């Protein structure tokens, strides 16, 4: 026997009790949905803002964006270039987290990485930096900038 039956409740009381539970459940599910949508929107905003900032830096420093910096040149310029690539990779990382299966974003990321394939395939990057990024981004880097020993014939 249920609690409501034990206290002499009527059918109307049952309907009210179950209706209240149903409304509370629907409200709870709607709240969870809103929280999930908010999280997705926040990820999108952070990813696209970071990507936009990366492009602002590219416009301000076309010499870095070209990917033609050399290690044996000016040491300060090389440091600036490696930080530039780190910003680019951070933006790409956020985009791959936000839109992992979006073909347009993926093509854009591959084009950006391709301009820097020489550095991305270098021993310096592969041994010191590559492990800092997600497996998804590492796979894209390997696809765009394979090490000389990994290149397909």
CA dihedral 89, 126, 70, 114 (to 10 degrees): -50
Q: Is the pLDDT of residue 102 over 80?
A: yes
Boundaries of every domain in the chain = 43-150
Task: Write the CB contacts of 105 (distance below 8 Å, at least 6 apart in sequence).
Answer: 95, 96, 99
Q: Whole-model pTM?
A: 0.73
Residue 24 predicted with pLDDT over 80: yes
**126-132 contacts: CB < 8 A, separation 24 or more?**
129/86
Residue 66 confidence class, pLDDT cut points 50, 70, 90 = very high
Q: What is the pLDDT of residue 15?
A: 83
């Amino acid at each position: 026997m249920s609690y409501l039956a034990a206290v002499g409740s009527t059918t109307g009381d049952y309907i009210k009790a179950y209706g209240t539970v149903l409304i509370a459940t629907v409200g709870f599910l709607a709240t969870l949905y809103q929280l999930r949508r908010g999280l997705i929107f926040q990820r999108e905003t952070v990813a696209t803002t970071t990507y936009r900032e990366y492009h602002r830096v590219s416009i301000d420093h076309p010499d870095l964006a070209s990917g033609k910096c050399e290690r044996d040149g000016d040491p300060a310029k090389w440091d600036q270039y490696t930080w530039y690539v780190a910003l680019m990779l951070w933006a790409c990382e956020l985009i791959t987290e936000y839109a992992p299966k979006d073909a347009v974003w993926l093509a854009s990321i591959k084009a950006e990485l391709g301009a820097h394939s020489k550095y991305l395939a270098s021993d310096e990057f592969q041994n010191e930096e590559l492990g800092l990024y997600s497996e998804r981004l590492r796979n894209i880097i390997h696809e765009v900038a394979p090490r000389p020993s990994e290149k397909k014939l």
